[in-house]
Amino acid sequence: MHSNSLIELDRAHLVHPVAAYRTHEKLGVRVLSSASGATVTDMTGRQLIDGFAGLWCVNAGYGHESIVEAAARQMRELPYATAYFGLGSEPAIRLAAALAERAPGNLNHVYFTLGGSDAIDSTVRFIRFYYHAKGTPQKDQFISLEQGYHGSSTVGAGLTALPAFHAGFGIPFEWQHKIPSHYVYRNPVGTDPQAIINASRQALRRKVEEIGAERVAAFYAEPIQGSGGVLVPPRGWMKAMRDLCRELDILFIADEVITGFGRTGPLFACSEDDVVPDFLTVAKGLTSGYAPMGAVFMTDHVYNTIADGAGGSAVGHGYTYSAHPVSAAVGLEALRLYEGGLLENGRRAGARLMEGLQGLADHPLVGDVRGRGMLAAIELVTDKTKKTPLPAVADPSRRIFDRAWDNGLIIRAFGNGVLGYAPPLCCTDSDIDAIVDRTRKTLDQTI
Ligand code: PLP
């Protein structure tokens, strides 16, 4: 189909996620039509390096025939099997077992969802059930971090702390509380790692005191805050917060929807941080974006408390597509590819990416370079000493996105002048070098 008619059809019918509808209608959609490795091609034939792996999800990269084959085989054999009524399918069971074996600590129980938002929703449901089962249903208050993102479902959007997800929706709810982020570059306590960790611990302790310890259910954190602008906490932050949650008798949820599956190096960022949360959520890299799927891991203790609490009754939480066999088959193959070399390649490529981006630190617009593995960001400022953010005029981030696009690069341009990078783990050295070179060119055009 001619691209102009597709643009018209899109304008008339497709409602896009997180979009300024009227601006989008004016600008028109850019249609992607094929991809291979880390390169995508649009309908006009323009080739671009996908520096953001779709939406930080195509961790394995595009064009893996073995994943396509795994999905096709499963569709042929058994395209659907419900996990209700005591039924199941082989790939879902095998994937749950493989994930449990690799997850940190005793996160041995895996509940499959369709993506990250419903994984987060599911944790809220399970946590409520858990406290009812324990006989403490009054523990119903939830805490998360400023700049955090935990999805855009009705409940998850309230744990999310990005204003765009609240404005006009009447959320968050009164039982959803926030404490300040660790945001190293702009932290009021300065950049000293221990001071930042202490400040976060103090903020959580104070918030729990304010609400009343007997009312607080759980604290949510991403190992690296993704949509808030790739905010990397000091080493030891996750562990310090995990330990504090134990001391305060509240559950700790690690949201690894972005950081899971090699994004920061290992399969799970928590392993590197030496943290075993009570719940761990994943999505995105689980299937490398080839099919929708997310998952909630829970510890033996959490699972057993819920199971015993339910007794002979059903735990009434489920989706038609929970444990979908095609997504599970895709997940198993993606896991095989990660462990068959992609994790290792991602670690090498990630080091090169960080080194390349660090090389941009001398650019007059670059205030901060941060990241871990294949997850990175540069923060643009107009005055490095004062850390003055880019002026919020006429959507500067969209302009930077457009310039990068014209230079053959897809990056995430956050509204606050942060450029985000999450390329596929399959990137070659020349892919990484192109990402860095095209970024420099884009910045030069932005001054
Ligand atoms: N949690 C985190 C940390 C995320 O980054 C995201 C999405 O970006 C979600 C949850 C929601 O996942 P999904 O978009 O698959 O619903």
**Rounded Cα distance, 7 and 43, in Å:** 11
Residues 6+ apart with CB under 8 A from 383: none
Helix or strand run (H / E) with residue 220: strand 216-221
284 DSSP 8-state letter: G
pLDDT in tens, 402-421: 999 999 999 999 988 999 99
CA distance 101 to 82: 24
Fill in the DSSP letter of residue 37.
B
Mean pLDDT in the chain?
96
**Which one, of 165, 236, 166, 175, lies nearest residue 200 by Cα?**
236
Q: For a pLDDT cut of 70, what percent of the chain falls above it?
A: 98
Side-chain-facing half-sphere of 242: CA atoms under 13 Å: 19
For residue 60, the SS3 value is: coil
Query: What is the reported pLDDT for 394?
Result: 47
Residue 1: per-residue pLDDT = 61
- pLDDT at residue 317 above 80? yes
Q: Is pLDDT of 206 > 80?
A: yes
Predicted pLDDT of residue 399: 84
Position 397 scores a pLDDT of 65
Q: What is the mean pLDDT of residues 143-166?
A: 97
The mean pLDDT value for 244-269 works out to 98
> What gap in Å lies between CA 173 and CA 383, rounded to an integer?
38
- Which CATH number applies to 3-63+342-446: 3.90.1150.10, 3.40.50.300, 3.60.15.10, 3.40.640.10? 3.90.1150.10
Rounded to an integer, the average pLDDT of 61-81 is 98
- pLDDT at position 69 over 70: yes
> Considering the domain 66-337 in this protein, what is its CATH number?
3.40.640.10
> Is it the case that residue 235 has pLDDT exceeding 90?
yes
Residue spans per domain, the chain: 3-63+342-446, 66-337
Q: Which is the closest atom of ligand 1 to the Cα of 116?
A: 12
What is each CA distance from 322 to 88, 270, 417, in whole angstroms?
10, 24, 38
For residue 56, give the ligand 1 atom closest to its CA: 8
Q: What is the pLDDT averaged over residues 232-252?
A: 98
pLDDT 10s digits, 370-405: 999 999 999 999 999 999 988 754 455 678 999 999
CA of residue 183 to ligand 1 center, whole Å: 19
Model's pTM, two decimal places?
Answer: 0.98
Is it the case that residue 57 has pLDDT exceeding 60?
yes
Separation of alpha carbons 214 and 208, rounded Å: 9
From ligand 1's centre to the CA of 107, what distance in Å?
20
Q: How do residues 3-54 score in pLDDT, each as one tens digit?
A: 789 999 999 999 999 999 999 999 999 999 999 999 999 999 999 999 999 9
* Tokens coding 298: 């829970």
Average pLDDT over residues 189-204: 98
The CA radius of gyration of the chain, in Å to the nearest whole number, is 22
Residues with CB under 6 A from ligand 1: 115-117, 120, 149-151, 222, 226-227, 255, 257-258, 283, 294
State the ipTM, two decimals.
0.99
Q: Using the mean position of ligand 1's atoms as its centre, give its distance from the Cα of residue 383 in Å.
A: 32
The residue behind tokens 């204003």 is: 163
In this predicted model, what pLDDT tens digit does every residue of 85-98 receive, in sequence order? 999 999 999 999 99
Tokens for 394?
Answer: 């006429």
Q: Which of 154, 165, 257 to mutate to test the pocket of ligand 1 (most atoms within 8 A of CB)?
A: 257
The CA distance from 282 to 190, in Å, is 32
